[in-house]
Amino acid sequence: MFNFIVSLSVEDPFFYIRFKHMDHQPKKMRYLFNLLVSIDQLGNTICGGNPDCTISARIGYFASLKTGIYRYYWKFVESIVDFTFWPLQGPGHCFKAYQNDPGDVVNNNNVAFFRLIMTFFIMATCIPMSAFFYLIYPFRKLLKLER
């Protein structure tokens, strides 16, 4: 039928897995996917973003802008999230997440308080996830985690 690139979340549990024929995936897997995306969107909403957009897509949008006073902040955060997901998706996780949500409007809410919350949220989730993802990286073919 068709292929999906699925962004799992808690900042996605932050990785992409290719699901072939999502219709044939077990209901538990679809439920897990939907749950993780909703947690990611909740995190973005708490950080002052659009409730229908993931944190990775928001970071990808702001980091891709050519100008802006906070461009270096967004590039820094993008590098952390991209590093976290590199073992599972390869380079450019945030920009790909932004491209996968073409209709979503990203809030231009650059209040320092929300950026601070987002930074703590990303650090608290990405550091342990990076350790886990880099640990399982050598076993990706065995676990059927494609890039």
Query: Is 146 a member of any domain?
Result: no
Range of the domain at 102: 3-139
Residue 118 lies in a domain: yes
Higher local confidence (pLDDT), 137 or 104: 137
**Structural domain includes residue 31:** yes
Q: Which residue is it, tokens 């590098």? A: 79
Residue range 109-129: mean pLDDT, rounded: 87
Cβ neighbour number for residue 112 with a 10 Å cutoff: 9
pLDDT of 35 > 70? The answer is yes
Task: Note whether residue 9 is domain-resident.
Answer: yes
110, 63 contact by CB (below 8 A) = no
CB neighbour list of residue 140: distance below 8 Å, 6 or more residues apart: 87, 88, 146, 147
Q: Tokens 């996830």 identify what position?
A: 129
Question: pTM of whole model > 0.75?
Answer: no
Answer whether residue 50 is part of any domain.
yes
SS3 19: strand
For the chain, what is the domain count? Answer: 1
CA distance 28 to 32: 6
Strand positions, DSSP E, 9-145:
15-20
Instruction: For 81-118, write each residue's pLDDT tens digit.
Output: 999 989 878 899 999 988 887 777 777 666 888 889 99
Q: Does residue 7 lie within any of the structural domains?
A: yes
What's at 137, amino acid-wise? Y
**Separation of first and last alpha carbons in the chain:** 19
Residue 37 pLDDT exceeds 60: yes
Tell me: the pLDDT tens digits for 8-19? Answer: 444 443 344 444
Domain assignment present for 147: no
Any domain includes 56: yes
Q: Is the dihedral of CA 134, 140, 145, 147 positive or negative?
A: positive
Q: How far, in Å, CA of 88 to CA of 73, rounded?
A: 24
Strand 15-20 and strand 3-8: pairing?
Answer: antiparallel
Confidence of residue 24 (pLDDT cuts 50, 70, 90): low
For position 19, what pLDDT does the model report? 41
